[in-house]
Amino acid sequence: MELKNDKLMKYNSLPEYLKDNEYILDHYRPEWPLRQTILSIFSIHNETLNIWTHLIGFFFFLILAILTAAMIPRDIHAFTITRIEELIIPLNTTTTNPYVLMSTMISPILKRPITRFPFFTFLFGAMFCLLTSSLCHLLISHSEKIAYIMLRLDYIGIASLIITSFYTQVFYSFICFPFFFNLYMSFITVFGAATIVISLLPIFQTALFRNVRAMLFFSMGVSGVVPIMHKVIVFGDRPEAMLSAWYELLMGVFYGLGVIIYAARVPERWIPGSFDLVGHSHQLFHLLVLAGAYTHYLAGLVYLSWRDVEGC
């Protein structure tokens, strides 16, 4: 069935707010009614693969989070009377002093496994980023007002991914060093909050600020190098610290390459119009974000195994 007002258009016919990439010449959906815009998730246009790469990525991370929660040993949030009894009976202890019990039996067990909270915060940050990105690509062309809201949601999603990645790394690396723990945590919280606030300013969404926008997020990501280097210097003799650092280096390569391709708008810059549907820079950027986030997930697993064994 042919829907009304669902004709694809060329770049030159677009309203000004949708002119973002002059090297993608055709297959735009400018200002379709909301129903057609939503249903366009199932049709072919120049945003189809942008929507689906991150929507599939969202479900991939959702499944990953569920499998991870099911397969890795749980952390212990609190102990109960039942648990204390379970601990006491096999040891056949005669002491009833709760502090002695705590220090001799319960404390060492409470130390491991390490809390999973920061790791799952990262998985949540990744899922939030992927879902808001997918939603943004689906709805952005509906109207100027929706585009305004969606772009901001997209920026918040990207910032969430970077901030939660940073939190995971700093938490497990510096859990035993309160000064640096607090220093790095405060830094990324302030930087992340500032990036979100700045990216909410209207001027930030114009094509003119494409590179500024990319650089701000890039700098926030790059600042993660400092605690990673610090970790390598302090824990260089721990295989898990080194393995997680290699994963983080690979993650940096994926994200860095993604940002460069995003800002350079290649390959469509070289042959405008040839990559409208498949292969343009934003699709490559999306795939590299997925690769980077997955690499960070692998680093997260290494952190858990490190701290489960070593504690603090």
- Known binder of ligand: residue 137? yes
**Residue 28's beta-bridge partner residues?**
9
Of 150 and 188, nearer to Zn ion (C-beta) is: 150
| Rg for the chain, CA atoms, rounded | 24
* 286 assigned ligand-binding residue: yes
Q: How far is the CB of 283 from Zn ion (least distance, A)?
A: 9
Residue 282 assigned ligand-binding role: yes
Minimum distance, C-beta of residue 290 to Zn ion, in the bound complex (Å): 11
Residues 6 or more apart from 290 whose CB is under 8 A from it? Answer: 53, 54, 57, 60, 130
Are 194 and 229 in contact, with CB atoms under 8 Å apart?
no
224 in Cβ contact with 161 (< 8 Å): no
Binding mask 121-140 for Zn ion (x = CB under 5 A): ------------x-------
How many residues interact with Zn ion (rule CB under 5 A)? 1
Nearest distance from C-beta of residue 234 to Zn ion, angstroms = 36
Q: Which helix (H) or strand (E) holds 268?
A: none
**140/159 Cα distance (integer angstroms):** 19
Return the number of the residue (140 or 304) whose C-beta is nearest Zn ion: 140
Please state the closest distance from residue 42 (CB atom) to Zn ion, in A: 19
CA–CA separation, 271 vs 249, rounded Å?
Answer: 32
Tell me, residue by residue from 236 to 255, as one string, x for binding to Zn ion by CB under 5 A and - for no binding. Answer: --------------------
Residues that constitute the known binding site for Zn(2+): 137, 282, 286
**Rule CB under 5 A: which residues touch Zn ion?**
133
Residues that constitute the known binding site: 137, 282, 286
